[in-house]
């Protein structure tokens, strides 16, 4: 019974809430936990969120088949520390984020503005992504560094067959 109620909450309330506040969501987007969008997102097909908060006024583009664990935070705006006051001035700097197709993001990941995450990349749990990640890159840490790469042949084979979760 608890599982049924949780499923209803997930599919009805959370998805409805997210769709109400962001008209860019596509019908096949899955919202499995609370998400806070800024209304400037662009969503591909088959995106899956298990909790996401986007801060700032920048555009965030999610490619097809994007999957995230809980705790994803994306920061697109920040204070200007090079301005005319200390520690920062009243200027707000905004940078967009691009997440390409088939990206998998682990739990409690933070992504900063100006970053592009390449197709097929995997971001390890707890990572803080401060610079762009290349196609097929597997990264983790704070700051996130690429330490491995997906098997390209395996990836392309599944992509060609459209084996998507």
Structure confidence at residue 163 (pLDDT):
74
Structure confidence at residue 10 (pLDDT):
55
Backbone angles phi, psi at 137, to 5 degrees: -70, 140
* Beta carbons of 98 and 61 less than 8 angstroms apart: yes
Structure confidence at residue 2 (pLDDT):
67
Structure confidence at residue 159 (pLDDT):
84
Structure confidence at residue 130 (pLDDT):
97
Burial class (CB in 10 A: 0-12, 13-18, 19+), 58: buried
Structure confidence at residue 52 (pLDDT):
92
Which parts of the chain have pLDDT scores under 70? 1-27
Three-class HEC string of 107-143: CCCEEECCCEECCCCEECCCCEECCCECCCEEEECCC
Structure confidence at residue 55 (pLDDT):
95
- The structure tokens listed for 67 are 């999957």
Structure confidence at residue 8 (pLDDT):
57
CATH numbers and ranges of domains, the chain: 2-160 (2.160.10.10)
Query: Could you tell me which of 110, 103, 102 has the C-alpha nearest to residue 131?
Result: 110
DSSP annotation string for the chain:
-HHHHHHHIIIIIIHHHHHHH-TT--TT-EE-S-EE--S-EEE-SS-EESSEEEESS--EEE-TT-EE-TTEEEE-EEE-TTSSSSS--S-EEE--EEE-TT-EE-TT-EEETT-EE-TT-EE-TT-EE-S-B-TTEEEETTTTEEEEE--HHHHHHHHHTT---
**What global pTM score does this model have?**
0.84
């Amino acid at each position: 019974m608890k599982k049924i109620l949780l499923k209803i909450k997930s599919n009805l309330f959370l998805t409805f809430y997210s769709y109400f506040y962001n008209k860019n969501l596509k019908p096949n987007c899955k919202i499995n936990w609370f998400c806070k969008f800024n209304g400037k997102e662009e969503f591909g097909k088959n995106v899956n969120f298990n909790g996401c908060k986007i801060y700032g006024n920048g555009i965030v583009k999610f490619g097809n088949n994007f999957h995230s664990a809980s705790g994803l935070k994306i920061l697109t705006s920040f204070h200007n520390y090079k301005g005319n006051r200390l520690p920062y001035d009243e200027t707000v700097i905004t940078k967009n984020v691009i997440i390409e197709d088939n990206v998998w993001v682990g739990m409690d990941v933070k992504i900063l503005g100006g970053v592009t995450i390449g197709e097929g990349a995997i971001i390890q749990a707890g990572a803080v992504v401060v610079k762009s990640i290349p196609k097929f890159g597997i990264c983790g840490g704070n700051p996130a560094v690429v330490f491995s790469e997906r098997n390209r042949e395996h990836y392309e084979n599944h992509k060609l067959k459209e084996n998507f979760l």
